[in-house]
């Protein structure tokens, strides 16, 4: 579950990085350019990553037994709102027949997307820390198991 969350965070971060490069190209449309086709692919992956993200995180919190659960629940409510707001903006852009560099620049500047990215940086760092803690705990648990035998 933690790997899935990390992969979702990475998909959104990669989309944002691609959008920064796309915005700098000064294109009037995504039609007829390789980067334009790639743009729609990155946007689609971001939509898939954001859809149900907070719910996936909530399941991970429960499965991992993370405490205090109410602190995670409060943050996940923020994540859910930011993800839904960002999804609305991304879907509006995707619905356009032509996506210009300027339109993507405006999406990049969206406070909703920026809030979401900050949320994702936080989530991704927590996931990395949890994975480190689990890795460090394995030898200890193994040693305890061996001592009890």
More confident residue, 145 or 2: 2
Contact 55, 84 (CB under 8 A): no
Amino acid 133: pLDDT: 86
Q: Is the pLDDT of residue 141 over 60?
A: no
Residues 64-88: tens digit of each pLDDT: 999 999 999 999 999 999 999 999 9
Contact 28, 132 (CB under 8 A): no
Instruction: Residue 115: name the closest of 95, 94, 87 by CA.
Output: 87
Structural domain harbouring 117: 2-148
Omega cis (within 30) before 20: no
Q: Which residue has the tokens 């991992």?
A: 64
pTM: 0.87
Per-residue pLDDT band at 143 (split at 50, 70, 90): low
Number of compact structural domains in the chain: 1
Q: Which residue has the tokens 């000064």?
A: 26
* 126-to-3, 12, 57, 132, 141 alpha-carbon distances in Å: 12, 17, 11, 10, 22
């Amino acid at each position: 579950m933690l790997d899935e969350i990390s992969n979702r965070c990475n998909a959104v971060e990669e989309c944002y990085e691609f959008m920064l490069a796309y915005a700098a190209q000064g294109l009037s449309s995504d039609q007829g350019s390789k980067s334009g086709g790639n743009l729609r692919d990155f946007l689609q992956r971001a939509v898939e990553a954001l859809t149900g993200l907070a719910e996936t995180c909530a399941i991970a919190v429960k499965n991992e037994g993370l405490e205090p659960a109410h602190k995670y629940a409060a943050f996940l409510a923020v994540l859910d709102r930011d993800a839904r707001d960002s999804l609305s903006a991304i879907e509006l852009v995707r619905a356009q027949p032509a996506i210009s560099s300027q339109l993507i620049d405006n999406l990049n500047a969206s406070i909703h997307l920026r809030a979401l990215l900050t949320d994702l940086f936080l989530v991704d760092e927590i996931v990395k820390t949890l994975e480190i803690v689990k890795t460090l705990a394995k030898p200890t648990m193994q040693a305890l198991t061996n001592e009890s035998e």
